[in-house]
A and B are shown apart, each in its own frame.
Chain A
Amino acid sequence: MYKVSATQLTDVLNTLAGTMDVFLPIRKDGQTNFGLYAEGVQADFDTLKTVKPPKEFFLPQSESLYKGVVDGKDIHIEPAAFADRPFVVFGMRGCDVLGMEILDKVYLGEPVDRFYEARRGHGCVVALACGRPASTCFCKPFGVDASDPQADVTAWLCGQYLYLEPVTERGRQLTHKLEPFLQDADAEDVAEYRQEIRERLEALPYNNLSLDALKDADMLEVFNSPVWDSVCDACIACGTCSYVCPTCQCYDIKDYNTGDGAIRYRTWDSCMYSDFTLMAHGNPRKTQKERFRQRFMHKLVYHPSTAGGQLSCVGCGRCVNKCPSSLNIVKIMKSLGVS
C-alpha cells in the first residue's frame, strides 16, 4: 500500500492525465458527474454518488457503430474505431465497481461485445472507499464492502493522505506511474477509517436487508404475483431509474441521417419506455405494469437465473434518490418479501 499527500493530489492527477484520459467526479451546479479531468478542474471526491453512473466510460450513453452510405446500388460501411486510448476512472465507488462486474458478465459473455471489450481493455478503475455512505445506500447485501472496494486500485481518502492499494496488474502499472509521489503505507493506516465506515454503514436503514426471499425465487410465481398490479401506480414511465443505474445494460440501435449517409449508433435504452418492445403488429408488454415488472424481474429474477444467483442490483441507491415518484428497487424487493 502507498500513500500520497493530499496536497499532491493535483500533481498525481496531472501526471496521470499526461499519459491517459482521467475521468473523475466533478461537481457542477450542485450535481456531481464523472467528467474528463484537465488541469484546473476541481475533483469532487466528497459527493458519494454521481448522478450518472461511471458505466458510461465502458458503455457510453451513445456510441457510433458505423457509418453506412448507400451509393446507387452499392453500400459502403465504415466501422467506427474501437477505443485505443488508455484511461482511468478515478474514484468509482464499490457499488459501481460491482456494477461493472455485472455488465462484464453480459458484455464479455459469448459473443463478446467488441466495443465494450476494447474500452474495458483500455480502462483502469481506481475505486474509492465511501467515507460517508448515505441513507439510500444498501450495497452490503450485495456483498460490497464500501470500506474496501475492489478494483484495479483501491483508494482511501483519509486524513491528509490518499492511500492507494493496487489490486491488479493494471493497477500496479498505474501506481507505478505515480512512483515519484508515493510513500509506502500500511494497511493499518486505513484500518480505523475502514472501521468508521463500517460503523456508519451499520447505522443505515437498508444496510442489513436480507435478500434470502429472492434466492431461488420461482420465476413464474414472482412474475404472476399480484404485487405488480399496484406497485407501479406512481411510475411515470421515465427512464431515470434505468439511466442512473450502474447495471442497466439495455440499448437501442438507431440511424442518424447526416445527409451523406447514415450513422448507426447505439444508445442506452430503458425497458420502462412503451416503445421498448413495440413491434409493427403489437407489443408483448402492453401497459406500464408489464414494463415496470420487466425491469425488476430482470434485476431480481431473470439475471440471477443466468448469472449464478447474482442480482443485477448493487445497492447504490441512485434510483431511491432520483425516482420522480419515490419508487425504487428496495420498495419492490420489500413487497416481494425482502426484509
Chain B
Amino acid sequence: MQEQLRILAGKMLADGRAARVLGWKRTDFETAPEPSFFTAQDDLSELVYNKYCAANLSGFMIGAGKRDGVTVVFLKPCDTYSFNQLVKEHQIDRAKAYVVGVSCGGNAKVEEMEDVGWLERCLVCTKHDHVVYDELVLDESLSRPEAQDRFGGVTRLEGLQSLERYEFWQGELSTCIRCNACRNVCPACNCKKCVFDSAKYDTAAKANVTTFEEQLFHIIRAYHVAGRCTDCGECARVCPQDIKLQLLNRKIIKDINELYGEFQAGQDTETLGPLTAFNADTDAEPSIVHTRG
C-alpha cells in the first residue's frame, strides 16, 4: 500500500494536479512517522504508510486549504469523519483537497518508541468505511483487532457511585499539565482564539492552579466539541499523561445517542449537529440526569 500511495502521490505531483501531498514521513524511528507535506517527487521515498501512521491529517487541511493549489491528503476511515465535519464547519475548502482514502488495520500505541499494542480507539473502532474520498487505495488483507464495546468504559464508570467517579476523575485530571496537546490536535478544536487562551473570561489560567481549573478545562473542552466530536481519539492518543480523555467525549456521544437518537459527527456535511437542533416533542428534560439509573 505504501508503494501505491507513493506512486499515486508522484503522479499527482508530476502532472500538476496537486501542489502538495499530505502524508506521513519516515523518521529515525519506525514507530514515529511525522505528518508532512511533500512537494517534490524525489522526497516521496520518505513517504510511509504503516500502523504507526496514527496522526489524523484532517486538521492539517485547515491550513493547507489556505495555500494555493490542491493538496492530496491520505485519510484513514476514521479520519474522513473529521474531514467531513471540518467541511461542514467551513474550515476546509473541499475543492482544494484531493482525498485519498486508505485502508486501516488499526494503529499501534507507542511508548518510548516501542510498540505496546493497539491504540484504545482502534479496539473500539466503528468507523470502517470512508465517508468522503476522491479515490480509495485499499488493502483488503488488513485485518482489524477484535472490536470491543465502544461505550464499555463509559458504562463501567456510570455504574460507579458519584464519589467514586469523582475520585476517578480527580486521579486522571490531576496529572494534566495543560500542554494543550489534546486541544491542539483535535480537529474539532479549530477555534482561532480558544476561550482558554482568551484574556476576556478569566479562563486563561495556563496551568492547573487548582483542581477546579483541571475540571473546568476538560469539561468545557468536552462540551465545546459536543455533537462535533467524531471520536477520532486523537486527544487520548497524544496526551502525554495518558489521561482517558476519550471517556469524556464518549459520555457525551452516548448521551446524545440515547437521548436524541444515534448521531455520528462527520457522517455527512449537512445534518445539523445535536446541539444546534432540537426536537420540541421528544427531547428529554434535564431532570432525566437525576432520575435515570
Contact between B242 and A327 (Cβ–Cβ < 8 Å)? no
Beyond A238-B179, A240-B179, is A325–B207 a contact (Cβ under 8 Å)?
no
CB < 8 Å neighbour of A31 from B234, B237, B242: B242
Q: Contacts of B206 on A, CB cut-off 8 Å?
A: 62, 252, 254, 267-269
Among A225-280, those with CB < 8 Å from B are 230, 233-234, 236-240, 242-244, 252, 254, 256-257, 265, 267-270, 273-275
Beyond A51-B241, A62-B209, A325-B34, is A239–B180 a contact (Cβ under 8 Å)?
yes
Contact between A136 and B112 (Cβ–Cβ < 8 Å)? yes
Residue of A whose beta carbon sits closest to that of B199: A275
B215 within 8 A of A: no
Minimum CB–CB distance from A123 to chain B (whole Å) comes to 20
B202 within 8 A of A: yes
Minimum CB–CB distance from A52 to chain B (whole Å) comes to 6
Minimum CB–CB distance from A57 to chain B (whole Å) comes to 15
B197 within 8 A of A: yes
Q: Contacts of A61 on B, CB cut-off 8 Å?
A: 177-178, 207-208
A321 within 8 A of B: yes
B101 within 8 A of A: no
Q: Contacts of B240 on A, CB cut-off 8 Å?
A: 31, 51, 240, 243-244, 322
Contact between B34 and A327 (Cβ–Cβ < 8 Å)? yes
B59, B185, B209, most chain A CB atoms within 10 A: B209
Contact between A135 and B177 (Cβ–Cβ < 8 Å)? no
Complex Cα spacing A236 to B29, Å: 20
Minimum CB–CB distance from A206 to chain B (whole Å) comes to 8
Complex Cα spacing A320 to B205, Å: 27
Contact between A254 and B113 (Cβ–Cβ < 8 Å)? no
Contact between A135 and B113 (Cβ–Cβ < 8 Å)? yes
A221 within 8 A of B: no
Q: Contacts of B28 on A, CB cut-off 8 Å?
A: 205-206, 330-331
A110 within 8 A of B: no
Contact between A254 and B34 (Cβ–Cβ < 8 Å)? no
Minimum CB–CB distance from A98 to chain B (whole Å) comes to 20
> Interface residue count for B (Cβ, 8 Å)?
40
A28 within 8 A of B: yes
Contact between B171 and A238 (Cβ–Cβ < 8 Å)? no
B216 within 8 A of A: no
Minimum CB–CB distance from A132 to chain B (whole Å) comes to 10
Q: Contacts of A326 on B, CB cut-off 8 Å?
A: 27, 29, 32-35, 55
B175 within 8 A of A: yes
B252 within 8 A of A: no
A180 within 8 A of B: no
A49, A136, A238, most chain B CB atoms within 10 A: A238
Q: Contacts of A31 on B, CB cut-off 8 Å?
A: 175, 240-242
Complex Cα spacing A255 to B35, Å: 37
A108 within 8 A of B: no
Beyond A51-B241, A52-B177, is A238–B183 a contact (Cβ under 8 Å)?
yes
Complex Cα spacing A265 to B112, Å: 34
Among A33-76, those with CB < 8 Å from B are 33, 48-49, 51-52, 61-62
Beyond A51-B241, A324-B185, A331-B27, is A28–B35 a contact (Cβ under 8 Å)?
no
Beyond A267-B205, A269-B206, A326-B34, is A236–B171 a contact (Cβ under 8 Å)?
no
Contact between A62 and B197 (Cβ–Cβ < 8 Å)? no
Q: Contacts of A322 on B, CB cut-off 8 Å?
A: 240
Beyond A234-B35, A326-B33, is A275–B197 a contact (Cβ under 8 Å)?
yes
B178-192 near A? 1/0 per residue, CB < 8 Å? 111101110000000
Q: Contacts of A62 on B, CB cut-off 8 Å?
A: 205-209
Q: Contacts of B184 on A, CB cut-off 8 Å?
A: 236-238, 324
Q: Contacts of B74 on A, CB cut-off 8 Å?
A: none
A106 within 8 A of B: no
B101-144 near A? 1/0 per residue, CB < 8 Å? 00000000001110000000000000000000000000000000
B37 within 8 A of A: yes
A159 within 8 A of B: no
Complex Cα spacing A209 to B160, Å: 51
Beyond A256-B209, A265-B209, A321-B112, is A135–B29 a contact (Cβ under 8 Å)?
yes
Minimum CB–CB distance from B65 to chain A (whole Å) comes to 15
Minimum CB–CB distance from A247 to chain B (whole Å) comes to 16
Contact between B36 and A29 (Cβ–Cβ < 8 Å)? no
Beyond A236-B59, A238-B180, A325-B55, is A29–B27 a contact (Cβ under 8 Å)?
no
A134 within 8 A of B: yes
Q: Contacts of B32 on A, CB cut-off 8 Å?
A: 320, 326
Contact between A254 and B112 (Cβ–Cβ < 8 Å)? no
Complex Cα spacing A153 to B185, Å: 41
Residue of A whose beta carbon sits closest to that of B27: A326
Complex Cα spacing A321 to B28, Å: 12
Q: Contacts of A321 on B, CB cut-off 8 Å?
A: 111-113
Minimum CB–CB distance from B243 to chain A (whole Å) comes to 8
Contact between A236 and B181 (Cβ–Cβ < 8 Å)? yes
Complex Cα spacing A256 to B237, Å: 32
Minimum CB–CB distance from A244 to chain B (whole Å) comes to 6
Sample of 19 further A-B pairs with CB below 8 A, known A233-B35, A234-B36, A330-B28:
A31-B175, A33-B241, A48-B112, A51-B240, A51-B241, A61-B208, A62-B209, A134-B112, A236-B185, A238-B180, A238-B184, A239-B181, A240-B179, A252-B206, A257-B202, A265-B209, A268-B206, A324-B237, A331-B27
* 14 A-B pairs in the complex with CB atoms less than 8 angstroms apart: A49-B112, A51-B175, A61-B177, A61-B208, A62-B205, A238-B184, A238-B238, A244-B179, A254-B205, A256-B202, A320-B113, A326-B29, A326-B55, A327-B34
Which residues in A have some Cβ–Cβ distance to B below 8 Å?
Answer: 28-31, 33, 48-49, 51-52, 61-62, 134-136, 205-206, 230, 233-234, 236-240, 242-244, 252, 254, 256-257, 265, 267-270, 273-275, 320-322, 324-327, 330-331
